[in-house]
Amino acid sequence: MKQRPLFPARLDLSSGRPTLARPETQVRAPVQVSRARTIASAPTLPHSVGPDSAARRRGMVLMLRQQGVNDGQVLSAMHTIERHRFVDSALASQAYEDTSLPIGLGQTISKPGVVARMAELLRNGAPGQLGRVLEIGTGCGYQAAVLSLLAAEVYSIERLRGLHDRARENLRHLRLRNLHLLFGDGMLGYAKGAPYAAIIAAAGGEAIPQAWIDQLAVGGRLVAPVSAGAGGIGMQALMVVDKTALGVRQTVLEAVHFVPLKSGIA
Ligand code: SAH
C-alpha cells in the first residue's frame, strides 16, 4: 500500500513498534446504548426509483474503478445499494456523483469514492467476507448497507437520535438481517459485539479512542479519519490500524474531510 504525504502531527507514524492511540477526549457521562435491533420483516416502503438509477450506478462504479478501487466485492456492493434512496429526494439526482451530501442535523453522507476506499481498506484483499464489523456514525445508513453486503454482521452506532431513526427508515426496504442499528455514543465502541474483525468510523476525532482498539480482534483492522492536530487545523487524514499479536501498527494515508466525532448522545 502506498504511503502518502503526512501531516506534522500527533499522529504516531512510527516505527514498526506497537503503539496505542490514546483518546484525548474523555467520555464524561455513562451513556446507555440501546439494544441491537435487527432490521427485519418490515413492510417494503413505496419508493419511486429513478428508471435510470441502475445505469447511473454502473457509471459510478466505473468512476470508482478509475479512482483505483479494485476490490470486486466492494464494487459489487456499491453497485447493489441504491444511494439515491438514502438522500433527500431533492438531492437524488446528485446521488451518483462523487460528492458528499447533507443528510440533516448538520451531518453528511460520505462521497461514494471515500466509502469504497474505506471498505476496500477494511477488506484488505481478503478472499471471503469480513466477520463482525463495527461502524461508528450510521448517519443515513448508506455505508452500513454497503458494509452489510461485505460482512457477516454489522453493528452500526449513531449518537443523534434523529439520524438513527432516519437510517432505520431508509434501510427498512432492504431487510438486511445482519445489520444492527444502535443508538449511543460510538466513542465507547460497542463492547457486546466485540471482538470485531473490522471497525470503521465515519467521523473524525483527535485520536483513536482506546475502546476501539480494545474491541478490535487480533488480526483485525480499523479505518478512521483522525485530525492532524493543532499544526494542521481542520485537516484530517485516513488512518489504518492493524492489530496483531505483537501489538498495533498505524499507517497514515491521504487527507480526508469528515464531520467531527463527538461524545455523548443528542
Ligand atoms: N456513514 C454515514 C456517514 C454519516 S456522517 C452515511 O453513510 O451516511 C458521520 C456520522 O457520525 C454523523 O451522523 C454523526 O452524528 C456521527 N457521529 C459523530 N460522533 C459520533 C459518536 N461518538 N458516536 C456515534 N456516531 C457519531
Q: Which protein residue's CA is at the shortest distance from atom 11 of ligand 1?
A: 137
State which of 160, 161, 182, 215 you would mutate to test the pocket of ligand 1, scoring each by most atoms of that ligand within 8 A of its C-beta: 160
Q: How do residues 42-77 score in pLDDT, each as one tens digit? A: 333 234 546 689 999 999 999 999 999 999 999 999
**In terms of residues, how long is the chain?**
266
Instruction: Decide: 176 in ligand 1 pocket, CB within 6 A.
Output: no
**pLDDT tens for residues 5-48?**
333 333 433 333 333 333 333 333 444 555 555 544 333 323 45
* Å from CA of 139 to ligand 1 middle: 5
Give the SS3 label for residue 205: strand
**What does the alpha-carbon distance between residue 145 and residue 178 come to, in Å, rounded to a whole number?**
10
Distance (Å) from CA 248 to ligand 1 centroid = 25
- Residue 42 Cα to ligand 1 midpoint, Å, equals 24
Confidence of residue 154 (pLDDT cuts 50, 70, 90): very high
CA 176 to ligand 1 center in whole angstroms: 20
How far is residue 168's CA from residue 257's CA, in Å, rounded to a whole number?
25
Given the residues 110, 148, 227, 263, the one annotated as active site: 110
Quick check: 97 pLDDT over 70?
yes
| Segment 107-144, tens digit of pLDDT | 999 999 999 999 999 999 999 999 999 999 999 999 99
Question: CA 171, 107, 136 angle in degrees (round to 5)?
Answer: 65
Q: Which residue has the cell 489504518?
A: 240
Ligand 1 centre distance from Cα of residue 62 (Å): 27
146 lines ligand 1 (CB under 6 A): no
- By most ligand atoms within 8 Å of CB, the mutation choice from 107, 134, 142 for ligand 1 is 107
Higher pLDDT, 36 or 239: 239
163 close to ligand 1 (CB < 6 Angstrom)? yes
| 3-class secondary structure, 229 | coil
> pTM of the predicted model, to two decimals?
0.84
Instruction: Establish whether 110 is a catalytic residue.
Output: yes
- Amino acid, single-letter form, for residue 218: V
Burial (Cβ within 10 Å: 0-12, 13-18, ≥19) of residue 48? exposed
State the cell numbers at 42.
Answer: 418490515
Contacts of 261 (CB under 8 A, 6+ apart): 136, 137, 186, 187, 201, 203, 204, 205
Looking at ligand 1, which atom is closest to the CA of residue 110? Answer: 3
- The finding on whether 139 has its CB within 6 A of some atom of ligand 1 is yes
Mean pLDDT of the chain: 85
Q: Which domains does the chain have, with CATH numbers?
A: 9-256 (3.40.50.150)
Give the model's confidence band at 233: pLDDT under 50 very low, under 70 low, under 90 confident, else very high.
low
